[in-house]
Amino acid sequence: MNLDRSIPPVIRQEFPFTLIQPEKQMIRGVPYYLISGDDTDLVRLELVFQAGSVYEPSALIASTANNLLGEGTSSHSAAEINARLDYYGAYIEKEITHEHASVTLYCLGRFLKDVLPFFAELVLDSVFPDRELRINLNNRKASFESNLKKVEFVCRQHFPSLLFPGHPYGKVTRLEDYDQVTQTDVFHFYQTYYHAAPVAVFLSGKANQQTFQLVSDAFDWHKRTIPLNHIALPDYTPVHKHIAMEDTIQSAIRIGRPAVTQEHPDFAIWSLTNTILGGYFGSRLMKNIREEKGYTYGIGSALQMHSQCGVWLIATEVGAEYTQATLDEINKEILRMHHEPVGEEEMQIVKNYIQGNFLKSVDGPFAQTERIKIIVLKGLPEDYYQRLIEAIRKASADDVLQCMHTYLHPDQLSRLVVGKAWKN
């Protein structure tokens, strides 16, 4: 057989996916979602609270409450709780965003009934002992102080303040904030926002109706509704800023602007446009700035979502001597997308890449839960992702041009450089 290696195999360009329809039950005012999958021995239980940083009275209260859940309850010390959870090989993940705080339990399905009482206790009955609070803040402060030496961290931390001055989305944590947190504030925050019951509970993996019952019995919520904390967003004016860090050999760059959220009709096309410009390894920014010029190990762009609005941004770290050259090339790539319609082949590659990547992002019950969570928390229609993918498939090069013209002119973008001063 003579094999012609220059001819690729037939590529199938259909990427059908299915999202599990979760089973939903309202129990004492709390929505529970069950996403079962028998191909794993693990079970995952996530409680999402309306307890994000926009609700905190002062800096770090929301993250500290989240972080310290279970480090001492009225009947057990932190050490006792941790010993029990560890004994069963259970693992707890805590996460906080502007809007939500979540606490997630992972364990082997067969241990769930043993672990649940401790998990419920840490969620329902945390007391935040002074000593635990002090050690926690001290250690997080040390890690924060180390992060302040990283150009990438400083850039990531300060960039939102350019887009949302005066708004909680633009708040920048300072080192001294770690000295201001009080037990009273943390405990009060916990009582207000965690005792109000979660906005949703997601049970996935090795779980069935029985497990479902076990979980809902473990929590005796008294549902309280908390008003959303929507402070009006400031008017957006693009800003350029440089934060000097002279002893560094690479500079971190972020360029971007506020963006639409998932509900907006332009979200699909903005996602597509983002991917073309900087959203995957074959993107224009990667091809130019890494693969042709070698200025960086990596450059990318992304859409990040909050509840009131999104953020679109480009992020990279480049050799300090390439700062201006990189800014120029980014500008060139943005302008090129304003002036030239994207070719048919590139459109197809990006559309397929997005679909394949989506397929990967819904593989297995835990990955599916992440998507279902977004639909639930954002109040999106059940077929949201089917529609989104369909809209991306149908989009034309003209749509991309339109998106660039409406949202992404260089004059509309803010810019932050963290690192050495550079020559223009």
Partner 1 sequence: MIEFNKYTLSNGLRVLIHQDHTTPLAAMNIVYDVGARDEHPEKTGFAHLFEHLMFEGSKNIPNYDTPLQLAGGSNNAFTSNDVTNYYLTVPASNIEVGFWLESDRMLELAFSKEKLDVQKKVVSEEFKQRYLNQPYGDIWLLARPLIYKKHPYQWATIGKDLSHIEKATLEDVKDFFYKFYAPNNAVLVISGNVETSAILQLAEKWFGPIPRRNVPKRNLPQEPPQTEERRLRVERDVPSDALLMAFHMPSRTDERYYAFDLLTDILSGGKSSRLYEKLVKEKEIFTEIGAYVMGSHDPGLIIVFGKLEKKITIAQGEAAVWELLEEIKQLRIADEELAKVKNKWLTQNAFEQLSVLNKAMKLSFAELLGDAQMVNREPEIYASITVEQIQQAAAMAFQKNNCSILEYKSLQI
Nearer to partner 1, 6 or 411 (CB): 6
Minimal distance, residue 353 CB to partner 1, in Å: 4
DSSP state of 107: E
Q: Is 414 left (phi over 0), alpha (psi -120 to 50) or beta?
A: beta
Nearer to partner 1, 318 or 372 (CB): 318
Establish how many alpha carbons lie within 13 A of residue 332's alpha carbon, considering only the half-sphere containing its beta carbon.
10
Minimal distance, residue 197 CB to partner 1, in Å: 26
The residue count of the chain comes to 424
Q: How far does Cα 390 stand from its chain's mean position?
A: 24
Minimal distance, residue 139 CB to partner 1, in Å: 4
Nearer to partner 1, 13 or 182 (CB): 13
Nearer to partner 1, 86 or 383 (CB): 86
Distance separating alpha carbons of residues 139 and 143, to the nearest angstrom: 6
Per the structure block, which two tokens stand in for 24? 């939903």
Minimal distance, residue 406 CB to partner 1, in Å: 26
Nearer to partner 1, 145 or 328 (CB): 145
Starting at the edge strand that comes first in sequence, how are the strands of the sheet with 296-305 ordered?
240-244, 414-419, 250-259, 310-319, 296-305
Distances (CA, A) of 361 to 48, 212, 325, 365, 378: 20, 25, 35, 11, 18
Q: Are 310 and 260 in contact (CB under 8 A)?
A: yes
Q: From 199, 201, 217, select the one nearest 105 (Cα to Cα).
A: 201
Distance separating alpha carbons of residues 41 and 108, to the nearest angstrom: 6
Q: From 338, 354, 345, 350, select the one nearest 400 (Cα to Cα).
A: 338
Nearer to partner 1, 102 or 326 (CB): 326
Minimal distance, residue 199 CB to partner 1, in Å: 26
Q: Are 36 and 365 in contact (CB under 8 A)?
A: yes
Minimal distance, residue 348 CB to partner 1, in Å: 7
User: Tokens 């209260």 correspond to what residue?
Assistant: 61
Nearer to partner 1, 335 or 349 (CB): 349
- 3-state class (DSSP) for residue 203: strand
Nearer to partner 1, 139 or 396 (CB): 139
For β-strands 30-36 and 23-27, DSSP reports them as antiparallel
Q: From 362, 400, 301, 278, select the one nearest 15 (Cα to Cα).
A: 362
Distance separating alpha carbons of residues 163 and 303, to the nearest angstrom: 14
User: Tokens 């790539």 correspond to what residue?
Assistant: 333
Minimal distance, residue 23 CB to partner 1, in Å: 19
Nearer to partner 1, 277 or 413 (CB): 277
Minimal distance, residue 262 CB to partner 1, in Å: 22
Nearer to partner 1, 214 or 359 (CB): 359
Minimal distance, residue 351 CB to partner 1, in Å: 9
Distance separating alpha carbons of residues 392 and 370, to the nearest angstrom: 20
- 3-state class (DSSP) for residue 103: strand
Minimal distance, residue 14 CB to partner 1, in Å: 8
